[in-house]
Amino acid sequence: MTTGMMTALLTRTALLLGLLFSIPHCAADFTGVSFDHITESGSLNLTWDNTGLDADSFPLAITISLINQTGSGVFGVKTNLSSSVNTTSYLWQGLPYPAPYLPTAQYQVEIIFSRANASNVQSVVARSPFFLIHQAPQPVDSSASDTSEEPASEGLRQGGLTKNTSIAIGVVVGVFSIMALGIVGWCFRRRQRRAREEARRRKRMEFVIS
């Protein structure tokens, strides 16, 4: 890196750091707005004092400044949030849109006059302190949980059987009992038939022998 490039980098860094630390960390110009615990993709209702504003002061513009310091240096971005604000409040949604989101960056929002007006001595109506925007919590993936097991019925959870279950068991037991009795009866009749046939066979043999 040449001496000229190094000097330019140091100058730019000094200017950005001077901007960062020279602005008081208070939001006296905003009313009822807290710049603490702001979350990415959230919303912030900006309201400011209307002192010194008249009908010719509108429309107002809202700008967003971003300053981020990394190992390679400091850089800043400034963009417009709106340029047609005709009231003393604005709902900022999807923070920090339209500025990019960087977890390490510090942000600042300003309310300014969007057009030159001789009656307006100051150009900034309201200015926030520099603030951080925290990353939004990641949603929990519920599909990873085990859903293969069906929940037990109310009757089983209470250690008993439901009425329908008892009826079903009774029907099954009754059917098997009838089948068992039928099999026993069939075996008994078969044994009796064999006994009668054996008796007739013996009589025929006795008749032939005699």
**pLDDT tens, position by position, 58-85:** 999 999 999 999 888 899 999 999 999 9
Encoding tokens for residue 167? Answer: 């009826």
What pLDDT score was predicted for residue 140? 79
Selection from 48-62, 87-101, 111-125, 182-196 with the highest mean pLDDT: 87-101
- Output the average pLDDT for the chain: 75
Whether 37 has a pLDDT exceeding 70, the answer reads yes
9 is a domain residue: no
Q: End of a domain among 116, 136, 156?
A: 136
What pLDDT score was predicted for residue 129? 94
Find all residues with CB under 8 Å of 60, minimum gap 6, and list them: 85, 86, 111, 112, 113, 114, 125
Is 117 within 8 Å of 59 (Cβ atoms)? no
Sign of the alpha-carbon torsion through 64, 69, 70, 73: positive
What pLDDT score was predicted for residue 93? 96
Higher pLDDT, 98 or 154: 98
Q: What b-and-e string marks burial along 83-119, b requiring 16 or more CB atoms within 10 Å of the CB?
A: eebeebebebeebbeebebbeebbbbbbbbbbeeeee
Tell me: do 96 and 51 sit in the same domain: yes
144 is a domain residue: no
pLDDT level of residue 27 (50, 70, 90 thresholds):
very low
Whether 155 has a pLDDT exceeding 70, the answer reads no
Tell me: do 132 and 168 sit in the same domain: no
**Least confident span in 30-39, 128-137, 149-158, 192-201:** 149-158
Tell me: do 39 and 130 sit in the same domain: yes
Number of domains in the chain: 2
Q: Which domain, by its residues, includes 185? A: 164-209
Tell me: do 174 and 128 sit in the same domain: no
Q: One-letter amino acid identity for 112?
A: I
Find all residues with CB under 8 Å of 121, minimum gap 6, and list them: none
172 is a domain residue: yes
Tell me: do 42 and 131 sit in the same domain: yes
Is 86 within 8 Å of 58 (Cβ atoms)? yes
Tell me: do 110 and 179 sit in the same domain: no
Whether 156 has a pLDDT exceeding 50, the answer reads no
What pLDDT score was predicted for residue 36? 93
Distance (Å, whole) CA 150 – CA 183: 39
157 is a domain residue: no
What pLDDT score was predicted for residue 92? 97
Tell me: do 67 and 104 sit in the same domain: yes
Whether 138 has a pLDDT exceeding 90, the answer reads no
Tell me: do 177 and 120 sit in the same domain: no
Tell me: do 109 and 50 sit in the same domain: yes
Distance (Å, whole) CA 57 – CA 34: 25
What pLDDT score was predicted for residue 123? 84
27 is a domain residue: yes
6 is a domain residue: no
pLDDT in tens, 94-134: 999 999 999 999 999 999 998 755 455 558 999 999 999 99
Distance (Å, whole) CA 45 – CA 91: 4
- Which CATH number characterizes residue 123's domain? 2.60.40
Tell me: do 98 and 51 sit in the same domain: yes
Whether 164 has a pLDDT exceeding 80, the answer reads no
7 is a domain residue: no
Is 152 within 8 Å of 162 (Cβ atoms)? no
Tell me: do 24 and 119 sit in the same domain: yes
Closest to 95 in 3D by CA, of 79, 111, 72: 79
98 is a domain residue: yes
